[in-house]
Amino acid sequence: MGGCVSDEDQAGYRRNKAVELYIRKQNKQYDREAKILLLGSGDSGKSTFLRQIKHLHKVDEGLDSEKMKFTSVIKHNCLKSFKDFLNMVQAREMEIPAKLKDRVEQVINSDAELDEEIGLAIEKLWASKKVKKCYEKLEVHLQIPTNSPYFWKIAKTVSQDDYEPTKDDIIQAKIRTIGIQETHFVHEGIKFLMVDVGGQRSERRKWLHCFNNITAVIFLTAIDEYDGKVLEEDNHTNRMLDSLSLFEKLSESSWFENVPFILFLNKIDLFDAKIKNIPLDTIYDDFDEVIKELGKEKESKRTQSVYYLFNKFKSRFRGKGQLFHFETNATDEQVCSKVFNSIREDIILKKVTGVLI
């Protein structure tokens, strides 16, 4: 899933083979480092994308050096998230098959860390269609890591004493980013600095410290959050509205004058799954009207849905530089590799060689 969405705005910025060839011929190392900021609300996928880049470019031994850090976080989150989910199921008196009730009590009442017995109970519960149905209904109200179900499915493996997370486990895991994380690497003659930041509101005031000399901004938004999920930090503000206003504010900042903005419509995999159950026109009254105005009536419902949300961001863009956009799934290595190469060729290379002013 995912990949580049072409757009009339991007027509002038198609791949420039000549520049690439020139670099290859000269085998030139550019002195100027391409500084790319990863910005966006909490949970939009910034750190996940960076982890994929680290893995793809073998930065700091890829993800191997981070395994230890993730083991305890994954074990803890697997149990905590499932307990939070079950507590909400009980609070709302949702129906669970009678034969599973003991297992529910077993998980809810466990105060220890995840052990094999509890791991097995989680796996058994999650295998139930009824339990999955409850999750579908509650997902929008739950403040638990996005990919908790990925870990519930393998809870018994995670619970083992000698459990070591795989590369996929690390990509699916959530660790909150605190402060500013800088990652340096060199790729095909270009030095890169990617800057990842904490996305929660309390973290945003630290962002100014890294706003100078920017080559490009990658702004991530979790496009599956169109159905009214609220921010974890205040349990009140609509996540998509927060993302839109943050996007607008950043794009009009004088720090980013003429800096290209690259919008990632991220979590496109979750979006594709969600629009089947919750079509956009059940959330947005003006959906049909806007699609008509945009002249997209003939497109598929799925294309219309992505375009409708992209249009919300596009109309809030205040920058003087170019706006590019991609549909992304940051948990998919292939997608991240393709998107990174496209950004490198179409935007960064042209910026560091002076072709893109």
CA dist., res. 289 & res. 216, Å (int): 34
* Residue closer to Mg ion, measured from CB, 126 or 340: 340
**327 forms part of the interface with ligand GDP (CB under 6 A):** no
**344 forms part of the interface with ligand GDP (CB under 6 A):** no
The residue whose two tokens read 């009678």 is 98
Interhelix angle 116-126/129-138, nearest 10 degrees: 80
CA dist., res. 177 & res. 203, Å (int): 9
- Residue 242 half-sphere exposure, CB side, CA atoms within 13 Å? 25
**183 forms part of the interface with ligand GDP (CB under 6 A):** no
Task: Among 81, 159, 172, 243, indicate the residue that binds ligand GDP (CB under 6 A).
Answer: 172
* Residue closer to Mg ion, measured from CB, 180 or 294: 180
How many other CB atoms sit within 10 Å of the CB of residue 228?
13
Task: Among 71, 243, 251, 331, indicate the residue that binds ligand GDP (CB under 6 A).
Answer: 331
Q: Which partner from the list ligand GDP, Mg ion, none does 165 bind, CB cut-off 5 to 8 Å by kind?
A: none
Beta carbons of 193 and 184 less than 8 angstroms apart: yes
Least gap, CB of 83 to ligand GDP (angstroms): 18
Least gap, CB of 355 to ligand GDP (angstroms): 31
Q: Which partner from the list ligand GDP, Mg ion, none does 40 bind, CB cut-off 5 to 8 Å by kind?
A: ligand GDP
**46 forms part of the interface with ligand GDP (CB under 6 A):** yes
* Residue closer to ligand GDP, measured from CB, 178 or 355: 178
- CA-based diameter of the chain, in Å? 71
What does the per-residue mask of binding to ligand GDP show for 223-262, with x meaning CB under 6 A? ----------------------------------------
Least gap, CB of 77 to ligand GDP (angstroms): 9
Q: Which partner from the list ligand GDP, Mg ion, none does 327 bind, CB cut-off 5 to 8 Å by kind?
A: none
Beta bridge partners of 187: 190
The SS3 assignment for 96 reads coil
**305 forms part of the interface with ligand GDP (CB under 6 A):** no
Q: Which residues are CB-neighbours of 32 under 8 A, at least 6 positions away?
A: 191, 352
Beta carbons of 218 and 38 less than 8 angstroms apart: yes
CA dist., res. 280 & res. 295, Å (int): 17
What is the side-by-side order of every strand in the sheet holding 323-327?
A: 3-4, 323-327, 261-266, 216-222, 34-39, 190-197, 180-187
* Residue closer to ligand GDP, measured from CB, 78 or 348: 78
For ligand GDP, the binding residues in 74-133 under the rule CB under 6 A are none
Task: Among 123, 269, 272, 346, indicate the residue that binds ligand GDP (CB under 6 A).
Answer: 269
* Residue closer to ligand GDP, measured from CB, 147 or 215: 147
What DSSP assignment string belongs to 318-344? Answer: --SS-EEEEE--TT-HHHHHHHHHHHI
Least gap, CB of 332 to ligand GDP (angstroms): 7
Q: Which partner from the list ligand GDP, Mg ion, none does 325 bind, CB cut-off 5 to 8 Å by kind?
A: none
The residue whose two tokens read 């500013």 is 180
Least gap, CB of 271 to ligand GDP (angstroms): 9
CA dist., res. 122 & res. 118, Å (int): 6
- The single-letter code of the amino acid at 212 is N
Q: In the structure encoding, which two tokens stand for residue 257, read together?
A: 């004058």
Least gap, CB of 312 to ligand GDP (angstroms): 19
Residue numbers at the binding site for Mg ion (CB under 5 A)? 46-47, 177
Task: Among 190, 217, 330, 336, indicate the residue that binds ligand GDP (CB under 6 A).
Answer: 330
Q: In the structure encoding, which two tokens stand for residue 8, read together?
A: 């009339």
**321 forms part of the interface with ligand GDP (CB under 6 A):** no
Least gap, CB of 196 to Mg ion (angstroms): 6
Which chain residues interact with ligand GDP by CB under 6 A?
40, 42-48, 145-147, 171-174, 177, 199, 266-267, 269-270, 329-331
